[in-house]
Every structure is written in structure tokens, then in C-alpha cells.
Amino acid sequence: MHSVGDTIWPKTPNAVRYKLFAERCAELVNPKSHDSYRVHALSTPLKLAELLVNSQKVIDRQFPKASIGSIVDEVNEAIKSDLVVKKILSDLKLDVSVITPLITETTEEINSRTKLAQRLVKKEYRRTCEEMIIQCCETEGGKVSYLF
């Protein structure tokens, strides 16, 4: 964490709170911070990219396989709950299991399945998302159906 020295910050209660806030923000984006403090990817394509990078690091023996367990879980949850991904797979007539990595698979299999998921999802994600939003806005009650 890149913390600013005490000499720069005044000793007022407000300054102490601002300094603490600044340190916590720096911690969120610092790659050397503990994983539980770091900001994770939010969209499915970004989660797939994160898993691809980290599974390759496991293959390259930079990290143990256990380190990608939580990322695999996040990707699986994203794939399972992302309506855009479901639409893309439905249009391609593919089952979600085709792109769902399993922690019980070898790291090479996880990496390969993630590459496949990226190829299938990334290319169509934005277009499908925009299409679904437009359809939702044009359809009476459409917004409610996507919310639930």
C-alpha cells in the first residue's frame, strides 16, 4: 500500500478520516494487497479474462491451483446468473456446461474452457446486451421481467 507520510496530513479529525479513506482506496487497487481487499471484475467478460490470466499463471507455476478456486466460483456464478450470457448461449444452441469451468478439472482444461467461453461470449456480449436493453425498454413490463 502506498501510504502518504504523517507529516503531510494535519492532525485534525477530518484529515485523519480522509487519510484512512485514501489508504483504503489505494489498498483496493494495489495488486500486492490481500485478495479479499481487492476489487474484483464485475462483468462476466472481465471475470473470464481474470480467470484466463490467473489460470495461465498456475500453468506457469507462479501460483498454486488453489489460488484460482474463488475466481472459478465467481465465473461460474456469473455464467449461471448473467442473462446476456444465457441469451448468447441460447442463440448458439449451446448448454451453459460447455463454458462452465470446474475446479475439479485440470488447470489446462480450465484455461481451455475459459478461452472457449471468452471466444463465444466476448464477441457478442455488448451487442446482445444493447439488444436486450432496447427490447426491454420497448416491451410493456419488460423492465420488471429482467429485474426478477
Residue-wise pLDDT tens digits, 59-98: 999 989 998 998 999 999 999 999 999 999 999 999 999 9
Q: pTM for this one?
A: 0.67
30: pLDDT strictly greater than 80? no
Q: What value does the mean pLDDT take over residues 32-53?
A: 75
pLDDT at 33: 64
Confidence band, pLDDT 50/70/90 cuts, at residue 145 = low
| 109 vs 16: which has the higher pLDDT | 109
29: pLDDT strictly greater than 50? yes
Residue 147 C-alpha from the chain's centroid: 20
| Among 100, 87, 93, 94, CA closest to 130 | 87
pLDDT at 1: 36
Q: What value does the mean pLDDT take over residues 18-28?
A: 73
Residue-wise pLDDT tens digits, 92-129: 999 999 999 999 999 999 999 999 999 999 889 999 98
Non-local CB neighbours of 30 within 8 Å, separated by 6+ positions = 1, 2, 38
Query: What's phi and psi for 56, nearest 5 deg?
Result: -65, -35
**Residue 112, amino acid:** S
Confidence band, pLDDT 50/70/90 cuts, at residue 22 = confident
Mean pLDDT of the chain: 82
